[in-house]
Amino acid sequence: MRDLRGRIDTTMQDTSICDFKTFSDVLARSGVNVSVRGQNVSYAFLDANKKQRRARGKRLGTDYEKETILNELERRTRERTAQQLDREDQSRATELVRETTSTDTALEQRERQAQSRKPRIDQLRNAVKPIADHLQHFTGAVREFAGKVEQRVIDSKLYKDVASRFKADLAKQEQARQNAIKQDLAKRMAPKKQPQKSYYREPEGRSR
């Protein structure tokens, strides 16, 4: 019985065993076969004299009964689950701290980069400002020139219109003058009518 208790105790000392099946498999490798009947558990084994033995949990003691062993295994399962959750929580917390630290580092780096770029930006702004002012002045000059060109185009169109009308009037006047000259020449060149001779003779003794 002492030998059997020792084998069971050695198996239960392995805290990695958290379920009844694993408990039974490990005991089987130690030469102890576990069988369950209702609320009872019995152990079959060979003693030191190679004699087949069988004992119930009640006979071995309360620590070797089914309920006690199951309660211990369930406690280990809960404890392992809690430890796993704690490890996961700790891992998440560590990861969160790492991410926060990484974010803070990135923000600090960006801030340093922004501070280092600020003088360059100021230099660039100072360099660009005269160019921008010159461009603005040039744009104003271009607009003024465009306005003058537009006005000249308008004046040119107006001049062309007046000149065209003046030429048309001159052409009409010249045409009228030519027509008058032609009419005068026609009158001058026309043959004159000769006076007709009278063949009527008045009677003698009458004075004319």
For residue 42, tell me if it sits in a domain.
Answer: yes
pLDDT tens string, the chain, 208 residues long: the values are 888 999 999 999 998 999 999 999 999 998 999 999 888 899 999 877 888 989 999 899 999 999 999 999 999 999 989 988 888 878 887 887 788 888 878 888 888 887 777 777 777 778 877 887 877 877 888 788 878 878 887 877 777 777 788 888 888 888 988 888 888 888 888 776 666 665 555 566 655 4
Q: Are residues 37 and 13 in contact, defined by beta-carbon separation less than 8 angstroms?
A: no
Which residue range(s) make up the domain with 45? Answer: 2-64
55: which strand partners? 43
Rounded CA gap, 49 and 42, in Å?
A: 20
Q: Are residues 66 and 57 in contact, defined by beta-carbon separation less than 8 angstroms?
A: yes
Count of the separate structural domains present in the chain: 1
For residue 52, tell me if it sits in a domain.
Answer: yes
Helical packing angle, 2-12 and 20-29, nearest 10°: 130
For residue 31, tell me if it sits in a domain.
Answer: yes
pTM of model > 0.75: no
76: which strand partners? none
For residue 15, tell me if it sits in a domain.
Answer: yes
Amino acid at 108: E
For residue 46, tell me if it sits in a domain.
Answer: yes
Rounded CA gap, 40 and 96, in Å?
A: 50
